[in-house]
Amino acid sequence: MAFMPVCQRDLTERGIEQLDFVYIIGDAYVDHPSFGVAIISRVLESHGYTVGIISQPDWRNVSDFLRLGKPRLAWLVTAGNIDSMVAHYTVAKKKRSDDAYSPGGKGGKRPDRAATVYCRMCREAAPEIPVLCGGLEVSLRRFAHYDYWSDSVMPSVLVDTGADLLMYGMGEHQIVEIADRLNAGKDVRSIRDVRGTCYLCEPVETPYGAVQCPSFKEVSENKTLYAKACRIQYDQQDEIYGKMIIQRQGDKMLVQNPPALALTTEELDKVYSLPYERRYHPMYESQGGVSSIEEVQFSITHNRGCFGFCNFCSIALHQGRKVTCRSEESVLEEAVKLTQMPEFKGYIHDVGGPTANFRGPSCEKQLEYGLCKGRKCLAPEPCKNLDADHTEYLDMLRKLRKIPGVKKVFIRSGIRYDYLMEDKSDEFMQELIEHHISGQLKVAPEHCSAAVLDKMGKPHIEAYKKFQKKFYEITKQKGKEQYLVPYLMSSHPGSELKDAVELALFLKQNRIHPEQVQDFYPTPGTLSTCMFYTGLDPYTLEPVYVAKDPQEKAMQRALLQYYKPENRSKIIKALCKAGRQDLIGHGAGKLVPPDAEYLKRQKKPQPAKGKGEKSRGAKKRRRK
């Protein structure tokens, strides 16, 4: 096994005169199947193509993009595993100093809007070479979209990048088909029918049979049309019934071909059997390594897709709602490979994916007809057709535990507790608690207010309460000291101050002290971001309350950590503003004790009732 070429010496040693593809990436180079770059480069290699990696090039110097020479077939460009703007800025739009996907964890190794900058530099370096872009950043920006950091609607990223083709979604099918056509001498401008791709064309070249979105100009000027466009885009992302989508972008037409077909079990097995090094490139050793590998190096991905379909999540628009999985044999083979690595200490950190306990479609109907348009399998309550069965997943976990050299198999990528509770058997929950938790289990109720959860696309809190009760019952039976760690979100569209107070009370009643809470981050392309920008639910067009005032957002966030003394003044202000002064004080029924400022205000003499009116009346009588 060997890493892809990263320098001229690598090319010389391998006898490569010209690479087929030069891959420009915004992350440090990590050859592990949790990184999209590793998968795409290994897939191309398995089909006989040569790929060189230029990681985090100097975007101010075009010559740095030519350090491996010009590619024979195309430039490949990705910002990396996460959106570069999310990597660079907090939800408060403050610059981050660290970056887990860069050597030594240091920030500043890539530009803002990295995919756009890299594509432009590739075009400048070699105008005649096709530019193909992919990855999360461009996938979620393929249509006209609200950009939180500039607080504006931006056109499709294809307009700004100048790339020839955009590959959205996971990319394996697209890249191989495009590579084969380019290798056969096809002009990139003629490659316009590959599923899972987008391109720009002259309006007169617009193909027939497409669903049309309101144009970039229209969605920039009209929030109702933006919301309608968002719904159209989501409704056509199913591989069975999804149609081509078009959207006018100035003097060009954006065309999104239907989604690529999800990889079959056999195809997934092949992808994950490729010869990954499963570590970062040794050139980063002197810089402190790459920390993003730490959580995933000894983890196993067994599935893709998520029919959970939360509104704030990007998976539905990027990876897709259809769940596909690897075979048991493939997963076990990978586990054996892990045990043979020198650094392996006996612990498999995770066996999961977008949602760990999804191991197939939510129902048989979707295999023929696709996932229900505009509906969710689990929210606000589970669909009557839901097939909740952990038998196959549980059997695989049992076999993993028996592999020589494996001490423990953890599940850390997230359990859908609402799906788990629909399983008629409690075998999985019993063994989850017995064997697969390291003291804490992370789950994501997100909120407790039904109004907010509906806007999140999450089940109501009753589902979590039911799970919580059963979890602690089984934990007690087994003599375990284990805890649930709930993920919670403040200021999601639909969340008013009263909802945040309701959540704080729920947390106190259940003795939950969350150490980390997430303020809603409006990342490109999600349904929740559409609500944040437009103030409308894209599926009903009903108004949605959105907390945008920094002070209110700070109050909502502080309420989730009601127990911290440093949050007291913010919480008191929030309770006063929400008309819930009854929760300020000492005792079981109170949320927070008063502070000095609040007590001072309470002691301040108030004018006698009716005094003002009496005085005004007296003045009137005197004037008469």
Exposed / middle / buried, residue 201 (Cβ in 10 Å: 0-12, 13-18, 19+): middle
513-552 residue pLDDT tens? 988 889 999 999 999 999 999 999 999 999 999 999 999 9
579-624 residue pLDDT tens? 999 999 998 889 999 988 888 888 766 565 554 444 444 444 444 4
- Per-residue pLDDT, 443: 93
- Per-residue pLDDT, 199: 98
CATH 3.30.750.210 fits 298-438, yes or no: yes
- Per-residue pLDDT, 598: 84
Task: Dump the DSSP string for 320-343.
Answer: -S--EE--HHHHHHHHHHHHTSTT
Please give the Cα distance from 96 to 88 (Å, whole number): 5
Please give the Cα distance from 428 to 434 (Å, whole number): 10
Q: What CATH architecture is 441-606?
A: 2-Layer Sandwich (3.30)
Diameter of the chain measured on Cα atoms: 108
- Per-residue pLDDT, 605: 66
366-386 residue pLDDT tens? 999 999 999 999 999 999 999
Do the Cβ atoms of 255 and 207 come closer than 8 Å? yes
Cβ-Cβ contacts under 8 Å for 526 (sequence gap 6 or more)? 140, 311, 312, 313, 314, 317
Place of tokens 């950043």: 137
Q: Half-sphere exposure of residue 457, counting CA atoms within 13 Å on the CB side?
A: 20
Beta strands in 186-336 (DSSP E): 197-201, 211-212, 245-249, 252-256, 279-280, 299-301, 303-304, 324-325
- Per-residue pLDDT, 516: 80
- Per-residue pLDDT, 214: 98
- Per-residue pLDDT, 424: 95
Q: Which DSSP symbol is given to 149?
A: T
Mean pLDDT of 412-434: 95
Question: What is the CATH T-level fold of the domain 8-200, as seen in this structure?
Answer: Rossmann fold (3.40.50)
287 — pLDDT class (breaks 50, 70, 90): very high
Please give the Cα distance from 610 to 612 (Å, whole number): 6
Q: Helix 568-577 vs helix 550-560: angle between axes, to the nearest 10 degrees?
A: 110
Do the Cβ atoms of 90 and 76 come closer than 8 Å? no
Where in the chain do CATH 3.40.50.2300 domains reside? Answer: 8-200
- Per-residue pLDDT, 619: 46
Bridge partners for 443 per DSSP? 486
- pTM: predicted TM-score of the whole model, two decimal places: 0.94
**Three-state helix/strand/coil letters over 357-373:** CCCCCCCCHHHHHCCCC
* 91, 92, 94, 95: CA torsion to nearest 10: 0
- Per-residue pLDDT, 599: 80
Where in the chain do CATH 3.30.750.200 domains reside? Answer: 441-606
3-state secondary structure of 485: strand
**84-98, 446-460, 591-605 — which is least confidently predicted?**
591-605
Q: Which of 351, 428, 350 is nearest to 388 (CA)?
A: 428
Where in the chain do CATH 3.30.750.210 domains reside? Answer: 298-438
438 — pLDDT class (breaks 50, 70, 90): confident
Q: Which of 429, 414, 407, 422 is nearest to 480 (CA)?
A: 429
Portion of the chain with pLDDT greater than 90, in percent: 92
Please give the Cα distance from 174 to 298 (Å, whole number): 28
317-357 residue pLDDT tens? 999 999 999 999 999 999 999 999 999 999 999 999 999 99
- Per-residue pLDDT, 588: 86
